[in-house]
Structures are given as structure tokens and as C-alpha cells.
Amino acid sequence: MSKVIFLGAGSWGTALAIMLAKMGHEVILWSKVEAEVSMLQEYREHRDRLPGIKLPESILVTTDMELACQGADLLVFAVASPFVRSVAREAARFIPAGQKIVNVAKGIEEDTLMTLRDILVEELPEADISVLSGPSHAEEVALEMPTTVVVGSARKSTAIFIQEVFMNERFRVYITPDIIGIELGGSVKNVIALAAGACDGMGCGDNTKAALITRGITEITRLGIAMGAKMETLGGLSGIGDLIVTCTSEHSRNHNAGFLIGKGYSVEEALAEVKQVVEGFNSARAVKKLAEKYQVSMPIVEVINRVFFEGLDAREAINILLTRDKCKEYPDLGWLEEKE
């Protein structure tokens, strides 16, 4: 068994910590939020995010960063994307060279256009940093519902180590060297899920949702290939798999925020109602900037940015998407007579 330390005690970090503790690993759960730590210590339950799911007594919950970072076989970054850089800077002096780290959050930093792993590599250059992603809502993992994810790592040996730490009969883990594919799939799908939620809020129906998910994976793939990701990854668990679950699930904060906007809530009202970090909102402008940088067409991302940041009505956004110029579904596919 391994000593595994979690930085971040939100729903995802807590759910994974509970799972690993039940597997027999030594687990420490850290949070900067004193009220959150006090709640977990007193009630052994994350009453806000995972009500009714008890923490094993073996899990140590703390606000002490130095204590949390000592002697870890694996350090799990589970903080929300806006705080990854600041937590990494705070933890840096306590993290030894060669420390195995796996990031389980999703997002892109707007100012730098860095993925979260890029940020960790910059702040912790001597660490061995991997990523874990896939269709995996914390609420279901905490209830031990069957779940499958993928780990991306630069080193095969590290990927296998993380796979062995996390994998059990209810949590299947695949491995891959395609880190950028995993990160882009996990980040861009949150933006698409906002649009899917808005469609549901407006009552658009199953046809609309299916079209949006399908064209969403097309946009993710365009950007991913331009940035060096592999098609197989984008069509796998961390791409289309994560997109499907985030666009359709009641657990998805991105879908729920979009749903409220589709119902007529303002962006501010929707974000306040969800009461959690809506990663798609934080990544939307960054993804648009990446599309511009790599010169790829991402019309869904474009209109979502206009809804969030320019006041475009969600219904008008649907009209804009439907009335774009006529085109082929896949431009590279042609008829025989075109080649004569």
C-alpha cells in the first residue's frame, strides 16, 4: 500500500481519498479552507458536496501544508483550476525532487493558455507530473458506482504506478502517453457542456443535444490535433467519454450552469446558484484564444463566449449556429467526380 496525499478537499478530492482509504492506502486530505477541514474532522462527511458519504477514520484531514507533503508516495492535486498555481507555489518548498504528482482537475489558464499540468511543471520543475481524467463524477465514485478513467504520463513506469494505486474492481484505470489529449478533452468539454445545458434549459430536445455533443467532439478534435493530441485519445474516455457525461448528467456543474442560463438566468445568477467552481466558465475564453492561436474553427466555443461575456441571448446563439454557411460535415471527404 502507498501513502497518498490529496491537496484539495472538494467533492472530487474527497471522493478519491475515500476510495483509496478503503483500498488500504494511507491517506492525508489537505484543504486551505479551515471551515471545510473542521467539517470533515467533526462530522467525517463533506456535508456540502457529498452528503451521507462517510470518511474512513483512517483519513487524516489537515490545513498543515508541510505535514501534508511529507513522505508521499503519490501527491494528488485536486484543487479547482483557478487555484492550481497558487497551491503549487505554496507547496513547492515542501515537495522533494522526483515527487510523483497526478493532477485530477481540469482547465486552462486564461492569461498563459497553459494546461494545468503545464502550470505544475512550471511551478514544480523537478517533480514527475501526470494527469488523470475521464467520465467520473465524484458523487458516483463516492457511491462505488463502476467508473473508468485514463492516466497520462511522460513515463510509462509512473503511469503504471498510478494505475496500480487507483485501480480496483469498481474503478478501472487505463494509461497513455498522450497527456495533451487528456488535458484538452477534459478542459474543452466543460465549455461544450455549458452549451448543452443551455439547450436543455430552453427545451430544445434530444436532437439538439445529440448534434451539440457530436459537433462538440469535432471542435475538441480540431483543436487537439492542432496542438499535438492523438485522435484515439480524443475519441476515448477523456474525450468523447467525458464530454457525454458532462453534457448529460445532473451532477455536472457546467451543464447545470448552462441549464439555468437557458432558463433565463443571468450568468451571475447561474454561477451563484450552482455554488461551485464552474470550470467551463473559467476555461471558455482561454479555449477561444487557443482556437484563434491555432487557427481552428470552434463555433460552439465562439457563441458560448458571446453568451457569457458579451450578453448574447442563448436562443440567439442557437440561431447563429444553425444558420452558418452550408458546408460538408468533414471537408476532407470528397466524391469521386471531384477527384477526376
**What's the grid cell of residue 191?**
465549455
CB 3 within 8 A of CB 71: yes
CA distance 128 to 134: 21
Q: What is the pLDDT of residue 340?
A: 55
If asked whether residues 63 and 24 sit together in one domain, one would say yes
Q: Which residue range(s) make up the domain with 103?
A: 3-177
The tally of domains found in the chain comes to 2
Q: What is the pLDDT of residue 336?
A: 82
If asked whether residues 57 and 154 sit together in one domain, one would say yes
Q: What is the pLDDT of residue 228?
A: 97
For residue 331, is it within any domain? no
Q: What is the pLDDT of residue 145?
A: 98
If asked whether residues 21 and 158 sit together in one domain, one would say yes
- DSSP string for residues in 186-234: HHHHHHHHHHHHHHHHTT--HHHHHHHHHHHHHHHHHHHHHTT--HHHH
Q: What is the pLDDT of residue 337?
A: 79
Q: 0.85 exceeded by the pTM?
A: yes
Q: What is the pLDDT of residue 242?
A: 97
For residue 294, is it within any domain? yes
Q: What is the pLDDT of residue 334?
A: 87
263 is catalytic: no
Q: What is the pLDDT of residue 339?
A: 62
Residue pLDDT, tens place only, 13-58: 999 999 999 999 999 999 999 999 999 999 999 998 999 999 999 9
For residue 254, is it within any domain? yes
For residue 332, is it within any domain? no
Kindly report the CATH number assigned to the domain that includes residue 225: 1.10.1040.10
If asked whether residues 103 and 157 sit together in one domain, one would say yes
Options 106, 189, 326, 328, the catalytic residue: 189
3-state helix, strand, coil in the chain (%, to 5): 55, 15, 35
With a cut of 70, which residues of the chain have pLDDT below it?
338-340
If asked whether residues 79 and 10 sit together in one domain, one would say yes
Closest CA to 232 of 151, 296, 176, 315: 176
